Amino acid sequence: MSSILVTGGAGYVGSHATAALIEAGYDVVVFDDLSKGHREAVPQGAELIVGSVLDPAAVRGALAARPFEAVMHFAALSLVGESVANPWRYFRENVGGAIELLEATVEAGVKKFVLSSTANLFGEPERVPIDESEPLIPGSPYGESKYMIERMLRWADEIHGVRSACLRYFNAAGACPSGTRGEDHTPETHLIPLVLQVALGQREQISIFGDDYDTPDGTCVRDYIHVCDLADAHVLALPALEQESLSLNLGNGTGYSVREVIETARQVTGHPIPAVMAERRAGDPPTLVASSGAIRERLGWEPRYPTLEAIIETAWKWHKGHPDGYEPQP
Ligand code: UFG
C-alpha cells in the first residue's frame, strides 16, 4: 500500500483530503501542529504525528516514518486580510515551512509533491473565468507566499526531479455529507459558516462587505467548491504526477454573489438570516471564478457536489450537528 504524508491533515481541507486518500486505499500519515487543526478531525485509519513544518527535526522525523510515495502540503496560514495586516508572519511561516518541508522531501527521496495553492495568485484577474494562462499577480502576501512556493517547486523538479501538482483552490466550502467532518476555524471569517451561524442563532445577522462592486448585484462573486470535490482532485493528481508537474485551477466554473449565498442559505435552513450592509473588506477582488476545463481534461476531475445548494446543505448538516465545532473527545 502506498503511503502519503499529509501536512495540515487535521485542518479543514487537509482532513477531507486525508479521508479521500484512505477511501482510495492509501495509507496516510498526518503531520500537524494542531495550532489551527483539530485532533478529532483526523480521519480514522490515519496516523497523527504532532509537529510543525517550521521544525526541521520534526519534519525529518515524520518523513522517516514510512517510505512515502508523495507529500501533500496543506499546513499554512490562509487568510487574505490577516496576511495584509501581518505580511512577515505569512512569509516566515508559509514560505519558511515550505523550505523545511521541501528540503527534507528531497533528502527522503520522495518524488511527488501536491501543494494546496490558491486563486489569490491571480489578484484582480483580467479575464473571467480564470484559466491557467492568466498572469500570476498575487493579490496579497498570502497569495504571494503560495506563489513563492510554486516557484520553489519548479526548481525542485528541475534540480531534483520532484514532480509537483499546484492546485489553486477557489472558495472551499461545504462539509463531508455524513456530517462528521466540517469547517471549524477560530475566529471564523468565511462567508458560508458565518451565514449558518446566524441560522443557528449564534449571531444576530450577517454583514455584506460592500454592494458597490462591478458585479450583477453589486456584491462580490466567488466560485464555491465543495471540500470533498477539492479532496478528490488531490487523489487524482497522484497518478498524473507520473507524467509531469502540473499547475491547475480548482473551482466549479460558476460564480455566486454574496447575496445569492445568503438567499440560498435562507432556502436551505428556513431561517430569515437578516443581512446588513457594511464597508468593503480590504483586499477583496470583485469576481473570482475558475475555468475548470484544464483540470477536467488533465485529471478527469468531475465535481460531485457542484451546486451551491448541495454545498450549503452539507455545511448546514455539519454545523447543526456540531454547533461548537469539533469538541475534544472525553
Ligand atoms: N463576506 C461578507 N461577509 C462576511 C464574510 C465574507 O460579505 O461576513 C464576503 C467577502 O467579502 C467575500 C466573500 O464573502 O466577497 C467570500 O469571503 P470568504 O472570507 O468566505 O472567502 P475569500 O474569498 O476571502 O477567501 C477564500 C479563502 C482564501 C482563498 C480565496 C480564493 O479564505 O484562502 O478564497 O478565492 F485565497
Nearest-CA residue for atom 12 of ligand 1:
220
**Cα(26) to centroid of ligand 1, in Å?**
32
Answer whether 250 contacts ligand 1 (Cβ < 6 A): no
pLDDT digits (tens, 9 = 90+) for 111-122: 999 999 999 999
User: Looking at ligand 1, which atom is closest to the CA of residue 210?
Assistant: 7
12, 77, 80, 121: which to mutate for ligand 1, most atoms within 8 A of CB?
80
pTM higher than 0.85, yes or no? yes
Separation of alpha carbons 58 and 31, rounded Å: 9
**Cα(41) to centroid of ligand 1, in Å?**
23
Separation of alpha carbons 279 and 295, rounded Å: 35
Q: Give the domains, in start order, of the chain with CATH numbers.
A: 3-172+224-250 (3.40.50.720), 173-223+253-321 (3.90.25.10)
Answer whether 220 contacts ligand 1 (Cβ < 6 A): yes
Chain mean pLDDT for the chain: 97
Query: What pLDDT score was predicted for residue 329?
Result: 54
SS (H, E, C) the chain: CCEEEEECCCCHHHHHHHHHHHHCCCEEEEEECCCCCCHHHCCCCCEEEECCCCCHHHHHHHHCCCCEEEEEECCCCCCHHHHHHCHHHHHHHHHHHHHHHHHHHHHCCCCEEEEEEEHHHHCCCCCCCECCCCCCCCCCHHHHHHHHHHHHHHHHHHHHCCEEEEEEECEEECCCCCCCCCCCCCCCCCHHHHHHHHHCCCCCCEEEECCCCCCCCCCCEECEEEHHHHHHHHHHHHHHCCCCCEEEEECCCCCEEHHHHHHHHHHHHCCCCCEEEECCCCCCCCEECECCHHHHHHHCCCCCCCCHHHHHHHHHHHHHHCCCCCCCCC
C-beta separation of 256 from 224 below 8 A: yes
Residues 6+ apart with CB under 8 A from 228: 16, 20, 174, 176, 177, 304, 305
Query: What pLDDT score was predicted for residue 265?
Result: 98
**Cα(80) to centroid of ligand 1, in Å?**
8
Work out the percent of the chain whose per-residue pLDDT is above 90.
97
Query: What pLDDT score was predicted for residue 107?
Result: 98
Which stretches in the chain have pLDDT values below 50?
none
Separation of alpha carbons 1 and 299, rounded Å: 22
**Cα(161) to centroid of ligand 1, in Å?**
36
Q: Please tell me which residue in 12, 26, 90, 142 is annotated as part of the active site.
A: 142
Query: What pLDDT score was predicted for residue 301?
Result: 98
- Which one-letter amino acid corresponds to residue 302? E
Query: What pLDDT score was predicted for residue 328?
Result: 64
Separation of alpha carbons 115 and 94, rounded Å: 12
Answer whether 84 contacts ligand 1 (Cβ < 6 A): no
Query: What pLDDT score was predicted for residue 142?
Result: 96
